[in-house]
Structure 1
Amino acid sequence: MPALTTTSDGFLLHGEPFRILSGALHYFRVHPDQWTDRLRKARLMGLNTVETYLPWNLHEPTPGTLALDGLLDLPRFLRLARAEGLHVLLRPGPFICAEWDGGGLPHWLTSDPDIRLRTSDPRFTDAFDRYLDLLLPALLPYMAASGGPVIAVQVENEYGAYGDDTAYLKHVESSLRARGIEELLFTCDQTDGDHLAHGTLPGVLATGTFGSRVDQSLARLREHQPEGPLMCSEFWIGWFDHWGGPHHGRDAADAAADLDRLLAAGASVNIYMFHGGTNFGYTNGANHHHAYAPTITSYDYDAPLTESGDPGPKYHAFREVIARHAGVPAEPVPSPAPKLPRTEVELTHRLALFRQLGHDGVRSADPVTADTLGRRAGYVLYRTTVSATGPGLLHFEGGVGDRAQVFVDGAPAGVLERERYDETLPIHLPRPGARLDVLVENMGRVNYGPRIGVPKGLLGPVTFNGEALRGWDCHALPVDDVPPALAFTPAATPTSAEPAFHQGTFEVAEPADTFLSLPGWTKGQAWVNGFHLGRYWNRGPQRTLYVPAPVLRPGTNDLVLLELHGTTTPRAHLVDTPDLGPTTP
């Protein structure tokens, strides 16, 4: 019998009445050395449970391999939650959305153009079953049935917004049960339209996702499910941001009032997000409704706990609401964590990006996609020579995925972007045999809707004035990690206009959280002591990158930037206050 069971209108935990007061906290978006701090702050706000997705694409990076280390050490996260006295809701997908690269689906799976994702297609369900065979033996000891903190597991994720293949949902349910999951299973769906009808299963608890219109949303959930607990499994209290868009926020009093309505109605809740964290490295997703829109590096989400783990206005407002309905710990609210003193970093060494090319490129008549090259994320460089001369139009059939910088004999010639549906660029070729380089950046794989799995890189043939350009060298650039220190040389000039790595050092007396500010820099990636902070871009809204304290060390620290365009300054700044852009409610 599962530890968490349902009655006609609520939950029982080990036979006693229980209300789930949960907050979303994605372990893979938080430095592991900060998990304990974030979990403690969840308990101190009055939560008794935390919820997390599981990113299939990172846990099984290649077929048949399982990653459970570092940011992905879920067993450790579950042990820490149990030590803090918190229960856990697990959401293993297979699809998670989460504004996460590809919605959590592995690129090695989604790159198959014939596979029918999130359906009963055996190619999809068999792959998920093999993943569960790898994953679940490591997680079963942490189920409540074995004395662990996990009290419920989700089946799929907002499936009613995607499809209506009930047999597929039943397969996911059966796959979890057959592999030892005894705990309560639940689905979550938006409460409007036909989402609940298409995304739920008989015998599996249905929960709703919404951020407002509480009474209306609960009524729709009750109409669909006449008996059982009422639960909002994603109570949206903020939102995420796209590059070039506004920084979203929600008034704390407004969100607290809706939380109060939820709890007054006797409902259980999972606050999305309690603590958003960061899309470190190449992990951000993207949306594509009318146009492609990549998500920024920060996943602050205007959550109660900020990206750097400090209690914000919603933390205090929500704690007051929870205190009225369920009580909160008598311990004081945590203070903001100390921040590193403002520090200037001189980037004194440089390494041109194109010098990183090895001899492992693929030679092809036409460009091949990044997916064909086996690249989940990052950059691909395409190189050819052109016999024509003079002005003309460079045309990319099918467009680019997602942002292409064009160079003629090493000189910048222009940029094309998927979000603007760019396909053609006017250029001038100075001589016969000029070298044409096209550097294509994957800005994040779509995480929601039918465009999951759309390829990256160059998506078709390339022509100049209508003549096809043949004979391409296609290089997947090795920029998952920073180059070795010995590869850098002193910069001959203080600024640079070519794509290049820039390196510098700075001193730290005592590690503390800080924020990397890059005025004068354009676009690229940042690493501190080899830890990949993520993408920066002067387009905004985000103007700083969060640097977790555990990334730093006493003494000399290393900063590396991959700048794709150019910089007007050789300096970077570590500041004590984040800048995510002006807030737009």
Structure 2
Amino acid sequence: MVVLRIRNVHKRKYILICLCIVGFIMYKNLSKPAGGWRMSRKVGLSVNMSQFTLGGESFCILGGSIHYFRVPRAYWRDRLMKMKACGINTLTTYVPWSLHQPEKGVFNFHTQLDLEAYISLAAELGLWVILRPGPYISAELDLGGLPSWLLRDGSMRLRTTHPGFTQAVNTYFDKLIPKVVPLQFKKGGPIIAVQVENEYGSFAKDQSYMIFIKEALQSRGISELLVTSDNPNTLKSGGVDGAIRSVKLQKLNQRNIQDLNAIQPNGPSMVMDYWTGGYDVWGDLHHVLPPEDMVSAVREILRRGMSVNLYMFHGGSSFGFMSGALAEPSYRALVSSYDYDAPLSEAGEYTPKYHLLRDLFSRYNKKGGSLPDMPALGYRETYEPAIMYQHLSLWDALSFTEEPFKSSRPVNMENLPANNRNGQSYGYTLYETTITSGGLLKSGDNVRDRALVFVDRNYIGLFKRKTLELAVPDGKGQRTLSLLVENCGRAHRGRDLDKQHKGLVGDILLNNTPLRDFTIYSLDMKPSFIDSLYQAPWKSLPENPSFPGFFMGRLFAFGYPSDTFVKLPGWEKGVVFINGLNLGRYWSIGPQQTLYLPGPFLNSGINQVIVFEEKEGDYKVNFEDAPDLGMAAEIQ
């Protein structure tokens, strides 16, 4: 109204311009991370003897890990606001190479993988960022986040200065690093530190490697503080000159801190990963860490004047086939849930750990004021079960895969000509050949990781890593022998990452004679394949459907869809797809009994539910309002 009273047009324009400038300044002020407006941007996160400083002011990192690739993009803001409300000042995230470069010449930084948008959102909400770009990240991902097409190189030596690996890293960093350089602290962004690789001390096969990664980051414009992160017993061999060392642990041990201080006597102490819980493997129990144990350790870390990052603050879900596996002491695949027993649950619910941390961190709030209000929780729904009304046998679905590959010998997943000659990363591979007799089938150690075996499409048995022999029944004439091999997840850590090939990795013997002349089908079950199945010859569900097979049903969600949890009692093992999206694996052996289905994955109205089941089905899928991650056991 003041502007309208001014008759002179030029004066009115002048005042409008001034108001716009003031508004812009206020907006920029509000969008800065805490304290960022007052701080000098000339000096970023720095070391002042045993303390960190940021912009010249003393600074204690109260960090928390949330992986953008494990949280639906529609929920990024909700999860980061809950982080801020807990008193955390710094977000940490890994960057998964395997997801950002699924094929050699193909890059994806869009929608769910829009890293720039995620970092910018953190800045808007007042959070600093520690970026962990790898290239190896572990993070309980298949192959530790390295793309499987690297394994097509028979001489490949991952995480070394082997030319094939460094060339691939350089190509990836040429795409990735320019996206985050403008988001660094000294350029006005929220990134205050960048981690060089991850846990290299436990691998340490190449003394030049960490120098290569450090220079690969700096030569592309990374100028903020560099850090490395290792387990206590590998701190010495994992560092690199010019980077602050930090430690990973769950139980605070005086000796661990002394070892860190001995290696880095004039530097600040930081627990880069304080593990708030743990991950789970199929066939085991659900691992939990008591809230009191967690908060007492974090309290002691802070009492000592150390900085800390909570891994995980919110775990989320390893949707699709992204879960890794343990290689030692024996192979065990990880479940799809990445709840991690973290302070914020898989579905973003507050836990007792969250409330204890919020109370503790409120005492470290420099402003002296109260923390932001805790965002309201979303509604969770129990939907009517989806009744499976259509069936498609695996054999009828084969015509919707890529053209099958003919080979005299078995070929592993990675070396198949699928996906523009980048090989197959995930899912199942079907190997078919002709036999003329029965007898003893031997797998050796060449099935990675499980194989359902069929003769003329009739199931005869299962090969696992410990099941090495199988009887093939006698029969007349030529018959088709089929092995449906599943990649259950490549090891995410260990010194044998180069050997994580999947599918059939060597000969299968029938009566001590190697099988030959295979037809090989790639069943990676990508969204494009699932979408193509809508054109397939589905049949009404018969009384005795064949397995393996696809089963289709419908979930009705009226109004604004809410989060829910998929439960499959009576089903054995397989994969669930909602509207073409792969939620992950289910397996009756547990511990995980439900799959998290976020509301944003659903449409208002009809939703297509497809289940790929290997052996046995109940023909209905339940949707419940609470998770079931299995019987709990405390982490020892």
TM-score by length of 2: 0.88
Corresponding residue number in structure 2 for 1:415? 462
Larger Rg: 2
Tell me the SS of whatever aligns to 2:428. Answer: strand
Q: Distance in 2 between matches of 1:103 and 1:584?
A: 25
1:119 paired to 2:178: no
Name the counterpart of 2:19: none
Q: Which amino acid aligns with 1:284?
A: S
- Sort the Cα spacing of 1:217 and 1:198 in 2 relative to 1 into closer, same or farther, 3 A: same
What is the aligned partner in structure 1 of residue 332 from structure 2?
Answer: 293
2:325, 2:197 → 1: CA distance?
A: 20
Aligned residues of 1:305 and 1:311 also touching (Cα < 8 A): yes
Please, what is the CA RMSD of the aligned residues?
1.6
CA deviations over 1:35-90 (Å, ceiling 9, x no partner):
00000000001100110011111111122322101221111111111111111111
Distance 1:400 1:264, change over 3 A: same
Q: Does 1:581 align with 2:630?
A: yes
Bigger Cα displacement from structure 2, 281-290 vs 55-64: 55-64
Which residue of structure 2 aligns with residue 557 of structure 1?
607
Once residues 477 and 202 of structure 1 are traced to their aligned partners in structure 2, the CA distance between those partners, rounded to angstroms, is 45
Q: 1:341 is matched with which residue? A: 382
Could you tell me how far 1:479 is from its partner in structure 2?
A: 1.5
1:512 to 562, 568, 593: 562
SS in 1 for 2:169: helix
Partner residue in 2 for 1:367: 410
How has the CA–CA distance of structure 1 residues 492 and 549 changed in structure 2, closer, same or farther, with 3 Å as cutoff? closer
Matched, 1:76 2:117: yes
Alignment of 1:420-439 (within 5 A): 420=466, 422-439=467-484
Structure 1 match to 2:534? 485
Residue pairs, 1:77-476, within 5 angstroms: 77-163=118-204, 165-192=206-233, 195-326=234-365, 329-358=370-399, 360-373=403-416, 374-389=423-438, 392-418=439-465, 420=466, 422-453=467-498, 454-476=500-522
Structure 2 counterpart of 1:578, one-letter code: P
- The one-letter code matched in structure 2 to 1:580 is L
Pairwise mapping of residues 516-555 of structure 1 onto structure 2 (< 5 A)?
516-555=566-605
The farther-off stretch of 357-366 and 7-16 is: 357-366
Measured after TM superposition, the shift of residue 164 of structure 1 is 5.3
Question: Which of 545, 566, 581 is equivalent to 2:616?
Answer: 566
Cα contact 2:230–2:248 (8 A) shared by 1: yes
- Please give the alpha-carbon distance, in whole angstroms, between the structure 2 residues aligned to 1:2 and 1:91: 21
Cα shift at 1:296 = 0.4
Cα distance between partner residues in 2 of 1:478 and 1:236: 32
SS of the aligned residue for 2:461 comes to strand
8 Å CA contact 1:405–1:415 kept in 2: the answer is: yes
- For normalisation by structure 1, the TM-score amounts to 0.96
Alignment check: 8 A CA contact 1:206 1:225 kept: yes
CA distance in 1, matches of 2:359, 2:254: 21
Cα distance, 1:116 vs structure 2: 1.8
Of residues 425-434 and 362-371 in structure 1, the stretch that sits farther from structure 2 once superposed is 425-434
Is 393-402 or 88-97 further displaced after alignment?
Answer: 393-402
CA contact (8 A) 2:397 2:533 kept: no
Contact 1:495–1:566 (Cα < 8 Å) also in 2: no
| 2:228 aligned counterpart, secondary structure | strand
8 Å CA contact 1:517–1:575 kept in 2: the answer is yes
DSSP 3-state at the match of 1:325: coil
- Please tell me whether the aligned partners of residues 386 and 553 of structure 2 are also in contact (alpha carbons under 8 angstroms): yes
2:20 matched residue in structure 1: none
Q: Secondary structure at the match of 1:371?
A: helix
- Deviation digits for residues 423-442 of structure 1 (CA, Å, limit 9, x no counterpart): 22122133221111100000
TM-superposed CA distance for 1:404, in Å, is 0.3
For the 8 Å contact 2:425–2:524, the answer to whether it is kept is no
Question: 1: distance between equivalents of 2:616 and 2:68?
Answer: 34
Q: Structure 1 residue 325: deviation in Å?
A: 3.3
CA distance in 1, matches of 2:452, 2:309: 42
Q: Which runs of 5+ in 1 are unaligned?
A: none
C-alpha distance 278-329 of structure 1, shift in aligned 2 (>3 A): farther
Shift of 1:368: 1.1
Q: Which whole-Å CA distance do the structure 2 matches of 1:94 and 1:123 have between them?
A: 14
Write the distance in 2 (CA, Å) between the matches of 1:279 and 1:297. 5
Residues in 1 aligned to 2:570 and 2:503: alpha-carbon distance in whole angstroms: 28
User: Does the aligned pair in 2 maintain the 1:214–1:262 contact within 8 Å?
Assistant: no
CA contact (8 A) 2:109 2:115 kept: yes
Going from structure 1 to structure 2, the CA distance change for 1:495 and 1:88 (only over 3 Å counts) comes to farther
How far apart are residue 33 of structure 1 and its match? 0.7
2:17 matched residue in structure 1:
none
CA distance in 2, matches of 1:578, 1:284: 19
Identity of aligned pairs, percent? Answer: 39
- Matched with 2:8 is none
**Post-superposition shift, 1:214?**
4.2
State the alpha-carbon separation in 1 of the partners of residues 252 and 53 from structure 2. 27
Give me the whole-angstrom Cα distance separating, in 2, the residues matched to 1:14 and 1:431: 81
Q: What is the letter of the counterpart of residue 473 of structure 1?
A: T
| Aligned-partner Cα distance in 2 for 1:134–1:266 | 38
- In structure 2, give the amino acid aligned to 1:294: A
CA distance in 1, matches of 2:43, 2:239: 20
The offset of 1:520, in angstroms, is 0.8
Q: Distance in 1 between matches of 2:549 and 2:344?
A: 35
Q: Residues 84 and 372 of structure 2 are in contact (CA less than 8 Å); yes or no, is this contact kept in structure 1?
A: no
